[in-house]
Amino acid sequence: MSLAARARWPALALLAALALAAAPLLLGPFAVTTLTRILVFALLALSLDLLVGITGLPSLGHGAYFGVGAYAAGWVAIHATPSGPVTLAVAIAAGGLVAAAAGSVAVRARGVFFLMLTLAIGEIVEQLAESWHSVTGGSNGLYGIPAARLGGAALIDDALYWYVLAVFIAGFAVVACVAASPFGHTLRGIRDNEPRMRALGYRVYHFKLAAFVGSGALAGLAGGLFAAQQRLVTPADLGLATSIPALLAVTIGGEGSLWGPCLGAAAVVLIRDYLGSSLGGHGSLVLGLLFVVVVFALPGGLARVGLARRRGPA
């Protein structure tokens, strides 16, 4: 591959990062808030892509680890310290630990059975959040979360945006590294042909569990950012109301491509919240249609479409 071709992806990534960093200087506060929400959701979609797209484990319950991270970060912010880095560290740990517990059971199953199991686990976690009033505030949720603080300053508005952007970029870089590493190669081998991997001597269970935990920890991180932005966490943030849009984002964007799901996340947020409101709150309908179209006619999602067009006149 020529130097120009090899430099293409990092150059695009750098351009995108710079454009995103400049956003608050060019856009109004409403757009910046929306972009912040998109970045948080994109990080969640990215974490799910590691599990679904790279490892081939389709999860319909990933919101659980996102929500656990959000609750953990929020709880720490209220009761201990609103320090940004501390709350995020707690969120990562919480997401990772719950994922370890859930994953140790879940990754023993495959395909549609794995899907059902993650669905069930997501429901358990949501029920737990609903009933554990003392910690989670029950169905009212955890409210009154103070703004995250970094070096004494409260992170709100533009500052919050740059904080979220920085964490997102770091998260993306980590996932991109892992995907390109031998570990990522192993995961893709498991996705493509798990029986062959066993026949080659790989301890497949351990790799799948590691992917599950890593992906859960990253989802928890996204949850921590969510808590810092919304300042309110409810049980719905753990359940299907989060898990389904996340899976939609990954599928529509193109599973396995990493950047595809991020675009998919933007599409989901924009369609559901903005196109939806102009359609009388029925963004889900459009999302469902888009999803059906992608599953039926565009396997590989928007990412595949984008790449195919570029490769066109070869």
Choose between 121 and 238: whose C-beta lies nearer to other proteins.
121
Are the C-beta atoms of residues 217 and 95 closer than 8 Å to each other? yes
CB–CB of 212/51 below 8 Å? yes
Nearest-angstrom CA–CA distance, 184 and 61: 22
Instruction: Give the amino acid at 68.
Output: V
The least CB distance from residue 289 to other proteins, in Å, is 6
Segment interacting with other proteins, rule: CB under 8 A, options 29-37, 86-94, 103-111, 154-162? 103-111
Q: Residues touching other proteins: how many (CB under 8 A)?
A: 60
The reply on whether position 10 binds other proteins by CB under 8 A is no
284 binds other proteins (CB under 8 A): yes
Near other proteins by CB under 8 A: residue from 147, 282, 305, 307: 282
- Taking residue 82's Cβ as centre, other Cβ atoms within 10 Å add up to 20
Q: How far is the CB of 224 from other proteins (least distance, A)?
A: 22
E-strand stretches of the chain: 142-143, 149-150, 153-154, 232-233
CB of 88 to other proteins, least distance (A): 20
Using the rule CB under 8 A, is 314 a contact of other proteins?
Answer: no
> How near is the Cβ of 158 to other proteins at its closest, in Å?
33
In sequence order, which residues have a C-beta less than 8 Å from that of residue 215 and are 6 or more positions away? 47, 48, 50, 51, 55, 62, 65, 99
Contacts of 162 (CB under 8 A, 6+ apart): 21, 24
Q: Does the footprint of other proteins cover residue 203 (CB under 8 A)?
A: yes
Among 120, 147, 159, 305, binds other proteins (CB under 8 A): 120
6 binds other proteins (CB under 8 A): no
Q: Which positions ≥6 away from 111 have C-beta within 8 Å?
A: 58
Q: How far apart are CA 125 and CA 235, in angstroms?
A: 9
Looking at the Cβ atoms of 39 and 121, the one nearer to other proteins is 121
Give the interface with other proteins as residue ranges (CB under 8 A).
58, 105, 108-113, 115-117, 119-121, 123-124, 127, 130-131, 177-178, 180-186, 188-189, 191-193, 195-204, 207, 240, 244, 247, 251, 280, 282, 284-285, 287-289, 291-292, 295-296, 299
